[in-house]
Chains A and B, each alone.
Chain A
Amino acid sequence: MKLRREMRRWPVCIALGFALSLGATGAGAKKKDKDEAAAVPYASTYKPYPGRPTALVGATVFDGRGGRIDNGTVLFAGGKVEAIGGPDMAIPDGYDRIDGAGKFVTPGVIDAHSHLGDYPSPGVDASSDGNEATSPTTPDVWAEHSVWPQDPGFTRALANGGVTSLLILPGSANLMGGRAVALKNVPSITVQGMKFPGAPYSLKMACGENPKRVYGSKGQKPSTRMGNFAVNRQTWLDAKAYADKADADRDLGKDTLAGVLKGEILVQNHCYRADEMALVIDMAKEMGYKVTAFHHAVESYKIADLLRDNDICSAVWADWYGFKMEAYDAIPENAALLAKSGACIIIHSDDENGIQRLNQEAAKAQADGRRIGIDIPDAQVVSWFTFNAAKAVGVADQTGSLEQGKMADVVLWNGNPLSVYSRPEKVWIDGALMFDALDPKRRPVSDFELGQPGEGDVK
């Protein structure tokens, strides 16, 4: 009855993958210092598609950083945001003018936690590539090497969710699951054609139930939470030794961990419980790295002050509850209580359906706060699925808000995006119109769906 269990993402995330022999320390391994001078492998080949100079006029504009302009104007050209302002802003010649009266404009939506491409649709074993669940620490694997660009989920995230950038993470079977990759949500034959230019890598880590269950059930360490920490700490110590030794044989996993220790690679840590997050914060201090965001952090509300003081974002659902033990204390007011404490909030999906409605999840979390007297303006709520997500992915200098010079990743909604009755009408990525609800041909159809029932449907 898997159709009736579609929301049960966590068992999918621990599905076993095929073992890959990476042989990182084999005879042909290069010395580490040589590699550091080498070109970045698997580099992005993404180039923005052509767009037209565009003026969105008369809409309510949420800039992604808490700003709101009623009857606003947004200008973009050459793939970049040129200016945003009020109704008096002059519109230069040569701009396509789009009437936004009654409509809303936001930055492109960003999902800081997705498995699209790694756990694509259809969900068959043959393309289930999100967990290298053969060792509790696999910092050597890179999610981008599993991404199937033809996953139809990318197209739904664009058309229904207005998603223009997303972070694809390895699953949570392992304590250290591997490198995550930031993508632009642009259809491409290759993953390199989707990679977000200049984005940093992230290391996916996981605490709690999943790693100890996956390996404990194999009679292997870790089988307990203390085992989780022991394996993590020893792995970090080994990585520190590697990082300090210039002539060490090249080790792919330790390359990743050394990158974290140098601050070049961000840490996205799957962690539900407050007490475990507090322990991870101390482990990061002990080992000399920083956690960028706790993901699925359903108990963040218990330690909102600690998270704020340590400048760690919480990437959360609005109101998922009780599906596993470490989600038993989840509450719908989590995001609002974080906002009250001044901590950073991201609404994430971890789900191929949820990614289509991040705006709606944020709206629910906002309303749950209002009912306990925490009023959070719409414009600030929009930052939960735009700027704050960009910050956690490490691309906030390039996208996530409507500011001059940033990528023209823009969504025109046919109503307030915090209403259930609103939908993306047009979505631009780097100034190129990639989705138009009013034009049946201006929507991507993956290779997989060609010639199959429902090809090109509204979905």
Chain B
Amino acid sequence: MSRCAIIATALAAVVLPFAAQAQDMAIINATVAIGDGSAPVEGATVVVRAGKVVAAGAGIAVPAGVQTIDGTGKWVTPGLFSAATDLGLWDVEAVDDSNDLEAEDSPFNAALDVVPALNPSSQHIAISRAGGVTRASVAPFNGKSIFAGQGAVIDLANDAAMVMKPRAFQFVELGEAGAKLAGGSRVAAHVALRNALREAKEASALPAGAQRQSDAMLTRADALALAKVLDGSEALYVGVERAADIRAVLALKSEFPALRLVLIGAAEGWLVASDIAAAGVPVITMPLRDLPAQFEMLAATQSNVGRMKQAGVKVAIGMFTGGNQPRYAPQQAGNLVALSKLPGAAGLTWGEAFAAISSVPAEISGFGGKAGVLAPGAVGDVVLWDGDPLELSSAPVDVWIDGVKQPLENHQTRLRDRYKDLDREYLPKAYDW
């Protein structure tokens, strides 16, 4: 790329938030994966108008006047949906000043809300976008309470309006980590949870200005935040791994019927898969964990997702945090396809695996039919790939969010372009930009 072109690209990236408009477009002759679990379709078409998907599949006519893009030899999918990630909450994870994941010294916990900390200019947003990720549910980490606070659903477009749904869910940690946070045991964690929900009920029932009971342990802000969990207006994401811990979480439904539970982790979910399915509780997990990393994960296996899916559990791939980046989702999904060929293992079909990183996490996040799928009326998030998107050799060529073509440049691509050659004979590399 010439220096002028590089400058133009860089300027475009800066200017785009004000200039970008959704373009009507159709991609034709591509292999299209709808994202709903169905097998990919060759020679298919995707039509996007006014920022929404109009149609996708084989035998679709392109409306007159709509710009067409030839997808021959390429694949088209909905944008990936990264569930339960920390995307946008830090620049450098180990640099505390740049990291808004957790607030260990805050007096608040459940009331914490990630929205003010979300940074659409984060390099990690740009890098994930270039990896085909267009939507995410962002969760905070626990400070010193089992309650981490409230997460949001975002888009990764190159503009300032990134929040799709603030305060979409509350995160609570049970299991080993919850036990530690609650003072040292699972018993304490469960008492803390029940007490918090009781205080939430009382606090939400009080008239404005009325005094709370003198033995209240939660701040008013935390209690009021949990009231939304109690009445089901916010989902409750529960971090838990062990089969017995999962059963204990499922039992909460009989005590607090309005809770909208989502299991995060569930490494031993396959051992209690029929119980999870019967309770209608979805799962977000990191599937390739196959080690007894803690005692609560003794039965961890890469077949966890496949076995839960066979039992009727709704399972999404997610939990991309820290160095484990959202753009790795296709690799995780692809490995589950590989598992289906191994005797004794349980994997997923290609369509199921792709759905686990697109439509299923979108559904769990409250955007079923609206994101992660090329269905009529869904957001115009479209990714054009240079090959099978689950294959290691493939990457996005172009990414649209809400029908707007996105810049794919970032800190990494600029470094790459600067150091493509090591020529520094006439000027230092610092002048090459």
User: What are the residues of chain A within 8 A of B411 when measuring CB–CB?
Assistant: 328-329
User: What are the residues of chain A within 8 A of B93 when measuring CB–CB?
Assistant: 8, 322-324
From A3, A327, A440, contact of B241 by CB (8 A)? A3
Flag whether A423 is at the interface (Cβ < 8 A): yes
- Complex contact A3–B177 (CB within 8 A): yes
* Binding-face segment, A179-187, A189-197, A198-206, A446-454: A446-454
- Complex contact A121–B341 (CB within 8 A): no
Among residues of A, the one whose C-beta sits closest to the C-beta of B181 is A1
A425 to chain B, nearest CB (A): 9
- Complex contact B291–A5 (CB within 8 A): no
User: What are the residues of chain A within 8 A of B243 when measuring CB–CB?
Assistant: 453
Flag whether A27 is at the interface (Cβ < 8 A): no
- Complex contact A123–B293 (CB within 8 A): yes
User: What are the residues of chain A within 8 A of B268 when measuring CB–CB?
Assistant: 453
Contact mask B334-355 → A, CB, 8 Å, 1/0?
1101110111110000000000
- Complex contact A1–B94 (CB within 8 A): no
Interface size for A (C-beta < 8 A) is 72
Among residues of A, the one whose C-beta sits closest to the C-beta of B86 is A4
B145-159 CB contacts (< 8 Å) to partner A? 148
When chains A and B are docked, how far (Å) is the Cα of A328 from the Cα of B127?
12
From B295, B390, B393, contact of A367 by CB (8 A)? B393
* Binding-face segment, B7-15, B69-77, B316-324, B370-378: B316-324
Among residues of B, the one whose C-beta sits closest to the C-beta of A305 is B422
- Complex contact B323–A320 (CB within 8 A): yes
Assess A454 versus B299: contact at CB under 8 Å? Given A122-B292, A423-B338, A459-B290: yes
Chain B interface SS verdict (over half): loop
From A160, A302, A304, A423, contact of B290 by CB (8 A)? A160
Assess A363 versus B393: contact at CB under 8 Å? Given A3-B265, A121-B293, A458-B345: yes
User: What are the residues of chain B within 8 A of A254 when measuring CB–CB?
Assistant: none
B171 to chain A, nearest CB (A): 9
User: What are the residues of chain B within 8 A of A414 when measuring CB–CB?
Assistant: 341
Assess A367 versus B293: contact at CB under 8 Å? Given A322-B92, A325-B94: no
Assess A353 versus B291: contact at CB under 8 Å? Given A321-B323, A420-B334, A423-B338: yes
User: What are the residues of chain B within 8 A of A321 when measuring CB–CB?
Assistant: 127, 323, 325, 412
Contact mask B280-305 → A, CB, 8 Å, 1/0?
00000010111111110111111100
Assess A331 versus B239: contact at CB under 8 Å? Given A414-B341, A459-B302: no
B390-433 CB contacts (< 8 Å) to partner A? 390-395, 411-412, 415-416, 419-420, 422, 429
User: What are the residues of chain B within 8 A of A330 when measuring CB–CB?
Assistant: 412
Q: Known contacts A367-B393, A454-B298, A459-B300; can you find 16 more A-B pairs with CB under 8 A?
A: A2-B177, A3-B239, A121-B292, A122-B293, A122-B295, A305-B422, A321-B323, A323-B94, A329-B411, A366-B393, A367-B392, A370-B393, A418-B392, A421-B337, A458-B301, A458-B344
Residues of A within 8 A of B (CB): 1-11, 121-124, 152-153, 156, 160, 209, 301-305, 319-325, 327-333, 337, 341, 352-353, 356-357, 360, 363-364, 366-368, 370-372, 414, 418-423, 437-438, 440, 448-449, 452-454, 457-459
Closest 8 CB pairs of A and B: A420-B334, A454-B299, A453-B299, A7-B324, A323-B323, A363-B392, A324-B94, A367-B393
